[in-house]
Amino acid sequence: MSAAPQITTRDEQPYAAIRATVTMADLGQLAARFGEVFAWLGARGVAPAGAPFFKYNVIDMERELEVEAGVPLAAPVVGDDQMVSGVLPAGQYVTLTHVGPPSELIDANRQLLEWAAEQDLTWDVSADDHGERWVSRLEIYLTDPDVEPDMSKWETELAFRLAD
């Protein structure tokens, strides 16, 4: 079940992440690496400033995806050979909150994309040799699975940046 999409304004947000190139079938393996991001931050005394997320940089559903498993921060950090650091850009985003298991997120993404097409909105995305390159396309995991094991109750916010 998903709430209706809406347009929201987001401030810029520093983050740290593990970046990987994966297939759709391997995406779950990247989710398992959020613990590494939290451990890396903890070893440096850096507290998260929000819920973990996937940032989809490049999407080619038939081949590979470049995705970051990230955690928002209050201030920027310097990455290393294990961790990248970045800033999610400020701007207008189309958002949608989905309640349900991760297996339903493809449909939630479709719902958000179709709604935006009906509104004649333009994404901050470009095409390249590897697929669609997004400036900021997020799946934000609002529910901690350790606190709520029932996947039918998990909340995920989709947030896709609109072109200026």
Q: Residue 111 carries which DSSP code?
A: H
Q: What is the pLDDT of residue 25?
A: 87
- Tell me which residue range forms the domain holding 63: 6-161
The count of structural domains within the chain is 1
Q: Is the dihedral of CA 37, 38, 39, 43 positive or negative?
A: positive
Taking only the tens place, the pLDDT of each residue in 122-162 is 999 999 889 999 999 999 999 999 999 999 999 999 999 99
Evaluate whether residue 1 is within a structural domain: no
Structure-token match 């189309």, residue found:
94
What is d(CA 134, CA 32) in angstroms, rounded to the nearest whole number?
Answer: 23
- Give the three-class secondary structure for 152: helix
Assess contact for 163 and 123: CB atoms under 8 A: yes
Model pTM? 0.95
Tell me how far the alpha carbon of residue 66 is from its chain's centroid: 11
CATH number for 66: 3.20.80.10
